Amino acid sequence: MVEQFVGKWTLVSSDNFDEYMKAVGMSFATRQMGNLAKPNLIISVEDDGVISMKAESTLKTTAIQFKLNEEFDETTADGRNAKSIFTVENGKLVQKQSWEGKTTTLEREVQDGKLTA
């Protein structure tokens, strides 16, 4: 299911990311740092089905581990405490985060050898 996402992915471009960060309530300073970051995303899957997702940049490294369709507690890169769940829908890796009555959905898809989020 998630095998197509396994590997090391390098950020090439980031469209509308500042608007996204504003919408989820990040401060100006945090958005400035976020806009500077050009992370590598490393995705791996263990034999027991645990998926690891690690974002590495010169500014910060974050990592999460999860199983598909199982909600877990996540501290986001900007410090939000969220409940997250990952599913696979129509070939996309879909992450839904909920915190303080708000929700956001992140979709990752591989096309032509490139990962888009």
pLDDT in tens, 28-45: 888 887 777 788 999 999
Domain tally, the chain:
1
Distance, in Å, from the CA atom of 92 to the CA atom of 115, rounded to the nearest integer, reads 10
DSSP annotation string for 67-89: -TT--EEEE-TTS-EEEEEEEEE
pTM, to two decimals: 0.85
Burial of 63 (0-12, 13-18, 19+ CB in 10 A): exposed
Q: Which domain holds residue 70?
A: 2-116
CATH at 36: 2.40.128.20
Distance, in Å, from the CA atom of 115 to the CA atom of 109, rounded to the nearest integer, reads 6
pLDDT in tens, 75-101: 988 888 999 999 999 999 999 999 999
